[in-house]
Amino acid sequence: MRALITGGAGFIGSNIVPLLLENHWQVTVLDNLSSGYECNIDNYLRDGRINFINGDVCNPVNIDNALNNVDVVFHLAACVGRQKSIDNPVLDSTTNLIGTIYLLESMRKHGIKRIVYSSSAAIFGELLTPTINENHPQNADSPYGVSKLAAEKMILAYSGLYGITAICLRYFNIYGINQRFDVYGNVIPIFARRLYSHEPITIYGDGKQTRDFVNVSDVARANYLAATAAKTTAVYNLGSGNSISIQRLADMMQEITGLKSDIHYGPERLADVKHCKADIQKIKNELGFYTTVSLDEGLREYLNWFSINFVD
């Protein structure tokens, strides 16, 4: 099989690459390196196991070149993050929606009939129930949530119009190797950076809010199952099916590293959900997905990777 991974040098995409190679796929990566890193895929570039195109999903020429001789598209290229989208909604929608349309149009012209799309739980907006299934109302309340939902709907429309099998995976909180800290970073890299820098950890609210964390290796496997086991177009929630409080997360990371940081409590952030857990029964039943990495195991692996790569 031959795959294109848009955003394949990024956090999640670079974890899908080795899984496909292990299963003897031919892989092309399209990435403009705005948030991806060539070092994430260096090993595969050096030995010629993948084809890398430094290009943008918003450039039709780049997309047409990348889609030559491709059977399946894993579409991960995106402008990611709630706050980032609020700060720059035009970039967010251009990348996430317009880039997806360019990709779909090129897929249609090339006759490519399968896409696995990295969607987001941000499409749900304010959560009405602590555990979220695929039928939860979709009331996105940020430019990021809106653009991911719009792209998901566009992909499903192309599926109906042109016979493309489309699998949309709605990610919850993903963590793991190759996840770096940045100004818009997620909570685990933020806490890791604070711990290893011996700086205080800030928790917004009382720390009792809960999140569903799923390891990136399980997410990569879910993408592979979506590409190989899904029979029809479908949407799936993708999390661990478990939740943990942010306070307990901070405690676990301190226990694992043996490092202690003062914990400061800030005001609750606007529109921050209180509790969030994915109902993953559908993806279990239809694709045979199950998680293999516990949070304790995954945090130990991640913190070891972080300490090797980012701690002097």
**Residue 205 contacts residue 238 (beta carbons within 8 Å):** no
| Helix, strand, coil tally for the chain in percent (to 5) | 45, 20, 35
Angle between helices 187-196 and 246-257 (to 10 degrees): 40
Cα separation, 31 vs 13, whole angstroms: 10
List the structure tokens of 105.
């149009």
Q: Is 44 a catalytic residue?
A: no
**Residue 6 contacts residue 57 (beta carbons within 8 Å):** yes
List the structure tokens of 218.
């399980």
Cα separation, 280 vs 131, whole angstroms: 10
Pairing of strands 2-6, 277-278: unpaired
Task: Give the length of the chain.
Answer: 312
Q: CA Rg, the chain, in Å?
A: 19
Cα separation, 84 vs 92, whole angstroms: 8
Q: What is the dihedral of CA 241, 174, 86, 263, to 10 degrees?
A: 90
Query: Which residue out of 144, 158, 236, 302 is catalytically annotated?
Result: 144
Pairing of strands 131-132, 173-175: unpaired
Q: What residue spans of the chain are helical by DSSP H? A: 13-22, 42-46, 60-66, 82-87, 89-93, 99-110, 143-162, 187-196, 216-228, 246-257, 281-287, 295-310
Cα separation, 283 vs 290, whole angstroms: 8
Point out the residues that are catalytic: 144
